Amino acid sequence: MELNWLEDFLALAEHRNFSRAAEARNVTQPAFSRRIRSLENWVGTPLVLRSSQGVRLNAAGEVLRQGAAELTRDLHRLRRGALKAAGRETAALTIAATHALSFTFFPGWLRSFALLEELGTLNLVSDTMAACERILLAGDADFLLCHTRSDMPSDLAPDAFASVAVGNDVLVPVSAPDATGAARWSLPGTSTAPIRLLAYSKASGLGRILDATWRSNVEAMWLDPVLTSPLAATLQTMALQGQGLAWLPRTMVAEDLIAGRLVNAGDEDSAIALEIRLFRPLRQPSRAAMAFWRAVSKQAAL
């Protein structure tokens, strides 16, 4: 049995689609499918149910999924321990950050730390929220930087991960303007004329936040999803082209709003307040990771 098989299986359990899971794992779909079949052969039973609507885990798959994440995390931890014992552990820090923060918040935030030059090499891994969670859980990153809310579901259990708020943001509904300067697509829409929605896919943390907010919001909105993407940047581009309405972080669209390329498409109640948080595992960190965490915590307390 290969570790790659378990990591492939966890990606499939997350995406519920062979092509998307294969893309997330950076392998071709045929190769990905072969590895899933190899895992099923090793276990001795099918693990997923395939249909035209997608893929879901069967009872055996659910049992395997519950232990597979912990097992892969432990194996990666063992590998790091062996490298440390051999004197080959890297001193570099790795931060996994969601795409939306990698290009907007992260550079300026990082410049605010005077001790940065003392920490050595810093690796930034930019990906979707789901992928960043997987990277942190596997032990392949020291930190995770992401948007969050207290009501957003997460795989980062508080008994295994600590976090600190390092900034604030707001999700705002925006649209390209029409000829009069008003929003081409504005909330709430109607049953006969729903709003064209540029939506986030399930791998997006911002999508999770919207879903959690909408579940607790009884106000009717008439939305017609015409595009889904895990990337806020993709939705921003489509919104600029007038293709629909998107909820985007204000840190990302501030310049577009000032220039009038995008306009607010809702009232104050349709905006969603966010925190920007840095997460780390509670396990014993490296010396460099602990120094960085202390500096972040000190700055956050100011």
Task: List, for residues 149-158, the tens digit of each pLDDT value.
Answer: 876 767 777 7
Q: Say if residue 51 is exposed, middle or buried (CB neighbours under 10 Å; 0-12, 13-18, 19+).
A: exposed
Tell me how crowded residue 125 is: count the other CB atoms within 10 A of its CB: 16
Per mean pLDDT, which range of 108-112, 195-199, 258-262 is the poorest?
Answer: 108-112
Number of alpha carbons in the 13 Å side-chain half-sphere of residue 142:
21
Query: What does R_g of the chain's alpha carbons equal in angstroms?
Result: 21
Q: Alpha carbon 276 to chain centroid distance?
A: 12
Per residue in 176-217, pLDDT tens? 999 999 999 999 888 888 999 999 988 888 998 898 888 766
- Location of each CATH 3.40.190.10 domain in the chain: 93-165+275-301, 169-273
**Given this model, what pLDDT does residue 42 score?**
92
Distance from the Cα of residue 90 to its chain's centroid: 26
In angstroms, the CA 142 to CA 218 distance is 39
Per-residue model confidence as pLDDT tens digits over 225-247: 999 988 898 899 999 999 999 99
* Domain 3-74 listed as CATH 1.10.10.10: yes
The whole-number average pLDDT for the span 75-94 is 65
Long-range contacts of 12-16 (CB under 8 A, 24+ apart): 12/36, 12/48, 12/55, 13/57, 13/61, 13/65, 14/130, 14/134, 14/203, 15/202, 15/203, 16/54, 16/55, 16/56
Better pLDDT: 166 or 21: 166
The two structure tokens encoding residue 16: 């519920």
List residues bridging with 97 in a β-sheet: 126, 145
Which CATH class, in words, describes the domain spanning 169-273?
alpha beta
Tell me where in the chain the CATH 1.10.10.10 domain(s) lie: 3-74
- 93-165+275-301 belongs to CATH 3.40.190.10: yes
Say what the pTM is.
0.69
